[in-house]
Amino acid sequence: MEDVKQKLYYKYYLLKIETSDMMRSHPILIWNCSSITLSLKSGIQIHLFMQEGSSLTLQAFGHRGAAGHAPENTLASFQMAMDLGVDWIELDVQRVEDALIVFHDSRLDRTTNGTGLVANHSLASIRALDVGNGECVPLLEEVFDLMNHHCGINIELKGANTAKLTVEMSQRYIQEEGWRPDQILISSFDLDQLAEVRKYSVDLQIALLYQWPRNRFIEQALELKATAIHIPERFSREHTIANIHANHMKVHVYTVDAINRILKLKHMGVDGIFSNFPERIIKARDIV
């Protein structure tokens, strides 16, 4: 046993094994697997029990696609994120008429050549806007079609009356297009919208977005049967991460672009990180 140094970053979430014959990190990503046995060259076997959809490596979430490289929340940005090898694409949805558009702000001004509130515009007029480089505001189904279940999709509910439509669309892509429930994660700061998601689906994954300190955020997440809590980097403390893990939920941290901060969070044992430059998260996996 002397030649084996074993580090377990909280339970089964991240495993890094070093031996005299294998002196680098070997991350493993496993979907829909109940257990895994790792056999080392030294003859030692390590048997781990897995939760469905859990991962033994740091998960890379492309924030609004790859927003550091392409206009945010556009098909070009999502394609770039997939090309970079993300595990998840994160995006924002709002309801306009009877459609779900992929758009973050309540106003059009920052990211398009339009002005005013999203709520004051028709679907057709929003779709005609330029989001940059000739890209338009996509519909959620266009993103599903582009991704074709090659990675997970994290849908953040940004506006009112988005939950039911999002659940219906997610269920359609599960039933008709081969998506798995564990490839879809619905998140929001809005507890009412998340409760609405859970009302219509017991299978879809939910994540509670946490922005400001609040006393019952873990209890609220448990009440929603959430699988994860998304926390801002500024509130990423070891005791917070440990408390969330102790309640059998994952910790995903947003939005982190600096490689030194990504590495710090990795060694704190978080399960995933959101970044505008998701390739930096992927690079951090191989840095001890």
Catalytic residues: 63, 104
What span, in angstroms and rounded, lies between the C-alpha atoms of 56 and 49? 11
How far is Cα 12 from Cα 50, in angstroms, rounded to an integer?
A: 7
HEC profile for 52-63? Answer: CCCECCCEEEEE
Q: Which two tokens stand for residue 174?
A: 């599960």
CA atoms of 204 and 174, how far apart (whole Å): 10
Give DSSP secondary structure letters for 174-233. HHHH---GGGEEEEES-HHHHHHHHHH-SSSEEEEE--S--TTHHHHHHHTT-SEEEEEG
What are the structure tokens assigned to 47, written together?
């048997």
Instruction: Identify any residues that bridge with 187 across adjacent strands, giving them in sequence order.
Output: 156, 207
Distance (Å, rounded) from C-alpha 168 to C-alpha 119? 22
Beta carbons of 232 and 212 less than 8 angstroms apart = no
Instruction: Tell whether the torsion through CA atoms of 55, 231, 287 and 73 is positive or negative.
Output: positive
